[in-house]
A and B are shown apart, each in its own frame.
Chain A
């Protein structure tokens, strides 16, 4: 009986171990992958490599590193376009050796045309870089899970300043002229001087803030985990109005200049009057929605990505769901270029896909689907 009990306990423990360790093999992503659209090329941080893909065909033009090397570089999560020459990529790499090896966030500059390294050495931080950064006036700004916002010289990656917040910074900053606006999970939105990193003002919400604010003329719009979407005065962070949804607002809202489109994590999609915060319509999609919605260039379609891998096309007139395109894996990010929308997926065989905005019809997938 002892033996049987021992075997049973051991079997259960082994099962639990495998379940918890996620015995799926391959790269186990901790956050989403991102992409950027620039001059007919799609730059994608695709875990194993950073790729440049042709937007028309999905063909790869270059990759960094040329062959996947997770041991050296770790998984790649974000890409940021600095200018016409440079691309900044972040990864989460193991540094040091033996028992005391640690994972650190690493930031590299790559040349846009061939994926060559452009900085003398990468910039490293204690935590993971979750979201892409933003650039302005020769300075690159990015938040880190170690709670800091870093300002780096674009030319060589030298650290110019760092601003500590009280929690992790998982949001992309917004740079407008000489000011950086960045949200932190410490419930605050900070306005920092771009050149020195000095605090200009801060706005405290009732919950964490996890994505980039949107700006329309002199107003900032930012969502919070306290179920509110806030409109703030750009100059000093004074609250103009707030709209209360059903759950957390995570992603950046989209706007056509007069209307604001936002989604909460429960899949409720809202169209609001940007000036007053009055609700125009409310719709719902299935699944958890983390990513901010994207608006088509003609303003007729609103694309909403859910964490269960489905992309929805809504009519901006009334929020009616016109089409939906289900897929394997979670949707990481999306970008609209002309008549197509490009998405990244994780935990799926097809990691980059293009669809027509109008009807959701697939255009291509990377890697190409086997016939």
Chain B
């Protein structure tokens, strides 16, 4: 079922792009990555939106934490109330991620399968190609040379793994909402280091064609983040101290105004 619904369409789409784009494997991987990212765009936007709204709620959450520092139950209740009033579901960021993961894993698998660096992968590939599209099997094996690399092998000079780590860190950084809870903040910090390192490890261990996918994918994430319009602060949120959050001066630092599209403040 997985092959039928996810893997086979992606493998064949990759082969079609390869044919259309002059037998350039890197271009074909880029095109497929863009198409899949476009397909999951609504979900990604939802995830980013959720992260941003969470970011905007941080000052309110900080206040609640301070106020109910000794009453965990009340804190949880008030937090949920705040989320409800802000019209957001705290798990809203997870769902799009969960839906995207199979697609992104399928994309990963399709690239590895189509690059067929090993004979075993090539045998498996024979079962993924649509016979009703003429000429696809004649494209096998894909042109695997790109610059100094064999796309079916890891980059021997570690240029791609470094790029993967850097772009993963940047995209992870912008997607991670800041947290007022010290435990969560520490966890986020750990994730910010571990996830890029993990992708770097993949990049060292697997075909460099996969690193191309990681880099393109991370660049798309960054691009999406910078071109999508920012939401205004949660003005509609009413807490027990609604005015406090809006007051520019006070004992606590006011929330940072959102960045404007295309410019810095």
Residues of A within 8 A of B (CB): 1-3, 5-10, 12-13, 16-17, 20-21, 29-32, 99-100, 102, 130, 167-168, 170, 185, 187, 206-208, 210, 225-227, 246-248, 250, 265, 288, 290, 307, 330
Contacts and interface: CB of A to CB of B under 8 A. Distances in A.
Given A2-B179, A330-B120, 14 more contacts: A1-B91, A2-B177, A5-B91, A6-B188, A10-B195, A20-B108, A30-B117, A170-B119, A185-B141, A208-B141, A226-B138, A246-B131, A248-B126, A288-B127
Interface in B103-130: 105, 108, 117-120, 122-124, 126-127
Q: Is the interface of B mostly helix, strand, loop or mixed?
A: helix
A313 B13 CA distance: 38
Nearest to B158: A99
A290 B127 CA distance: 12
Contacts of B138: 187, 206-207, 225-226
Given A17-B198, A30-B119, A225 B137 contact: yes
A3 B181 contact: yes
Interface of B: 54, 79, 90-91, 93-94, 97-98, 101, 105, 108, 117-120, 122-124, 126-127, 131, 137-138, 140-141, 156-158, 177, 179, 181, 183-184, 187-188, 191, 194-195, 198, 201-202, 205-206
A203 to B, nearest CB: 15
B184 A3 contact: yes
A31 B137 contact: no
B97 A9 contact: yes
Nearest to B210: A20
A225 B140 contact: yes
A8 B123 contact: no
Contact of A2 (B122, B188, B202): B188
A330 B141 CA distance: 22
A79 B123 CA distance: 21
B168 to A, nearest CB: 11
Nearest to B97: A9
Contacts of B90: 1
The interface centre, meaning the residue of B101, B122, B183, B187 with most chain A CB atoms within 10 A of its CB, is: B122
Nearest to B175: A9
Contact of B141 (A7, A130, A167): A167
A111 to B, nearest CB: 29
B228 to A, nearest CB: 20
Contacts of A290: 119, 123
A100 B123 contact: no
